[in-house]
Amino acid sequence: MHHWTDHNIRIHVFTCVLALTVAHLMRRQAAGAGECMWVRELLGHLAGIQETV
């Protein structure tokens, strides 16, 4: 880690834990819908979604 202050280290750890939590929830939601995928696969599918207004 290249963070020098205690505050920046805490923010970095919080961001990492938040990302892991979101990834876990995405996999659980997909598994509940019958889609067993890895997070990278899910992100690939989400990247293909486009919205037209």
pTM exceeding the 0.85 threshold for the entire prediction: no
Closest CA to 35 of 13, 9, 16, 44: 44
Q: Per-residue pLDDT for the chain (53 aa), expressed as one digit of tens each? A: 566 888 888 999 999 999 999 999 999 999 999 989 999 999 998 899 988 88
- The pLDDT of residue 20 is 96
Whole-number pLDDT of residue 3: 63
